[in-house]
Structure 1
Amino acid sequence: MDFSDDYDYPMDYNYSDKYENYTTEKVLVFQHQSTCVKEVLCVSLLVVSVVICLLGFCGNALVIWISGFKMKKTVNTTWYLSLAISDFVFCAFLPFSITNMAMGEWIFGRFMCKIASSVMFLNMFSSIFLLVVISIDRCVSVVFPVWAQNHRTIKKASVVVFISWLLAITLSFPSVIFREVSTHMGITVCYNNYTLHQHSHKIVVLSRFLAGFIVPFIVIIICYSIIILKLRTNRMTKSLKPFKVMSALVAAFFICWFPYHVSILLELNHQSYNQSILIAGLKVGSSMAAANSFLNPVLYVFMGNDFKQKFRSTVLSKMENAMGEEGRTTSRYLSRSSSMDGRASTHI
């Protein structure tokens, strides 16, 4: 996997020094050989990537099947179905990157170079935007239960999901613009060509960091702070268990993506850091980011109320119960709140 998505390989690797004794004729027939099997880090990341691909593909396929075909369609299943589709598409494209990492070069052409990289950022943006939407939805349901009971519909949720995906596609488009393929000294690489504009690299990195990490993080923190304060002052709700699946999803996203964003920000000033350490950081950070795509279905399974009871049940039942738990609890909360508001208005 070319985890260093934002590293300009042809410019940062001095191939001419490594092969300076070759004549021009010999360079033209130079045969590249992968060195991944000789590097412990590369082999480790290769194994991890294969595991992520297999678990993520199968796990998210199950979530799509359950939330899309086995469960009653609700606002909550609409959110989680979209999240699963995002992760499933990402895992479906992982074999291209795994092959690239194993062979040490890109063999799939210019078109797939652009698309494979775009899918990674499409997954990042669509996931975080959906997590923001779910957080806002939970917040509105708790603070304005009567309004949510009357206006929270599947049709509106579908529209919001569509807008989130459209925005994610738009923000992923820089990969289509800047991603290129180049061959040097017999090695074909898929890299980012930021030479078209002087500040294009910085603009792309900072926009991804702000739109895909900082701003969503702030919005989610605000929403959950409001939810916690509201529930603690509400006698009907004695615990925050109904929101632990969502909380785990948010925590997993930020833990998995934070190292990647740090590495990319450091890479903006790569002259000040050791190149080998930067590349290793980018590879590890991107591996952690990819791991988020298989963690989501795992969290659906193991974040139920009674783990022992769910452990004895089937895998499909675990997933269905975990995903439906928040929907059932939110519905009960909205119904109770509506009932209390109705009684209050009668007394007045």
Structure 2
Amino acid sequence: MENSNSSEGTPNATCNDSEGPRWLFVAGYALISVTGLLLNLTALAIFYRHPKAACSHTTVYMTNLAVADLLLVLTLPTRIYQYSGARLSPGLCEAAGLVLLVNMYSSIFLLACMNLDRCLAVCFPLSSRVKAWRKRTPLVCLGVWTLTVGASLPTYLIKKTGGGGQQGGQCSCLDSLPVYATQPAAIGATLSVGFGIPLGSMLLCSWCLLRALRRSAAVQMGLVKGRKIRNMMAVNAVVFLLCFLPYHCLLVAIYLQVSGPRLLEWYQASLLIACSNTTLDPLVYYFTTQTFKDTMAVGKMRAFHSQSSDEQKRGASVPLNSWGGGQEGGRVPLNS
């Protein structure tokens, strides 16, 4: 995955010196900082005080997501400081860029894992393998953190060893296009593993959940409000696409060397939108906890019907002379 916030630009990159967008970025990051800090601290406090408000597996995912958002929020003052006209040290700039990159892809993978976990619980309620996999939620989250940090660090280590020097030093931190977005290996890994696979997983899981809702007896009997579950899936999809799709579209434009006077400003705006996920993720927490019981009820109803069907099949296959408590191994004598 490439550096989302490189301190150097492409060879033909121009610096962003316009005052209008800079002050818009200052206002945007300030709003995200205050709102994201309050919402995520509140979410963590609720998760800590009410650990069983939702299923423990889902709570683990949401807690990790809130921690990732909070870490990003704590670095946003450096962006406000930079866009206000000051200059950050290269090391501090790189650290802030690394946290943004880790947060972005941690959020992508955690949202995808939450959807996959919910889908498996509903569609395969009786599977012992699914139950065993769901118990490994902490290990899944550890794997997400390891993947995102491990995939982001090489970009910065390469730059430190001279893999990508600043182009003439004419652009300050945050004011240039990412040079690594022009490399085929980096852009390919980012668009496929970092965005494409999680997006495909979320779409597939949403389709499976909608299919399960249409066939659910609990929904048809009015025991579960299918509309609430659909709203939950819609919020998850909107947050995912709204926050992360613009950034990856801009990476494609940079890789294809699309020229335009506003390309840098659009790229910077896409980073601002990506950071806004710290304020939108609490919506995911709200809808997830509000609809969790209904979603699990669909899975339990599917499990109940599966058990009933299995019992009926087993009953139909039992020989007639095996019923009853008669003599000779349960067989009923003819003269009885």
TM-score by length of 1: 0.74
Conservation of the 8 A alpha-carbon contact between 1:75 and 1:153: no
Q: Is the 8 A contact 2:5 2:94 kept in 1?
A: no
Which residue does 1:273 correspond to in 2? 259
Secondary structure of 2:191's counterpart equals: helix
In the alignment, does 2:227 pair up with 1:229? no
Let me know the Cα RMSD of the aligned residues. Answer: 3.2
- State the match for 2:322 in structure 1: none
- Contact 1:179/1:192 (<8 A) preserved: no
- Contact persistence 2:72–2:103 (CA under 8 A): yes
For 1:133-144, list aligned pairs within 5 A.
133-144=113-124
Question: How much has 1:49 moved relative to structure 2?
Answer: 0.9
Amino acid at match of 2:5: D
Distance 2:232 2:210 in 1: 15
2:70 alignment partner AA: F
Structure-1 residue corresponding to 2:289: 324
Contact 1:126-1:164 within 8 A present in 2 as well? yes
Pairing partner for 1:123 from 103, 113, 116: 103
When residues 245 and 149 of structure 1 are mapped into structure 2, their CA distance, relative to the original with a 3 A threshold, is farther
In 1, Cα distance between equivalents of 2:113 and 2:230: 14
- State the distance in 2 between where 1:218 and 1:4 align: 22
Q: Distance in 1 between matches of 2:227 and 2:129?
A: 20
Relative to structure 1, is the Cα distance of residues 114 and 4 closer, same or farther in structure 2, using a 3 angstrom cutoff? closer
Q: Distance in 2 between matches of 1:85 and 1:210?
A: 25
Partner of 2:267: 282
Deviations 1:273-299 (A, max 9, x none): 12x311111111111111111111145
> Which digits, 9 at most, give the CA deviation of each residue in 1:227-263, with x for residues without a partner?
2122212222242423533431232121222121122
Q: 1:345 to 1:95 in 2, by over 3 A?
A: same
Q: CA deviation at 1:153?
A: 7.3
Alpha-carbon distance in structure 2 between the residues aligned to 1:187 and 1:277:
16
Residue 50 of structure 1 is matched in structure 2 by 30
CA contact (8 A) 2:7 2:172 kept: no
Kept in 2: contact 1:256–1:289 (CA 8 A): yes
* Structure number, greater radius of gyration: 2
**2-structure distance, mates of 1:194, 1:185:** 14
Confirm whether residue 250 of structure 1 aligns to residue 237 of structure 2. Answer: yes
The structure-2 alpha-carbon separation of the partners of 1:235 and 1:100, relative to structure 1 and needing over 3 Å to count, comes to same
2:122–2:212: 8 Å Cα contact kept in structure 1? yes
Q: 2:218 is paired with a residue of what secondary structure? A: coil
Q: Residue 189 of structure 1 is aligned with which of 157, 170, 173?
A: 173
Unaligned runs of 5+ in 2: 221-225, 315-336
Q: 2:64 — aligned with what? A: 82
1:211 aligns with 2:193: yes
Secondary structure of the corresponding residue to residue 162 of structure 1: helix
Indicate the SS of the match to 1:145.
Answer: coil
Asked whether the equivalents of residues 39 and 279 of structure 2 are also in contact (C-alpha less than 8 Å), the reply is yes
Asked if the contact 1:82–1:161 (Cα under 8 Å) also holds between the matched residues in 2, the reply is: yes
Taking only the aligned residue pairs, the percentage that are identical comes to 19
Q: Check conservation: 1:4, 1:279, Cα contact below 8 A.
A: no
TM-score norm. by structure 2 comes to 0.77
**Separation in 1, partners of 2:105, 2:132:** 24
Aligned twin of 1:30: none
The SS at the match of 1:337 is helix
Mark the CA change 1:163 to 1:210 in structure 2 (over 3 Å): closer, same or farther. same
Shift of 1:186: 8.5
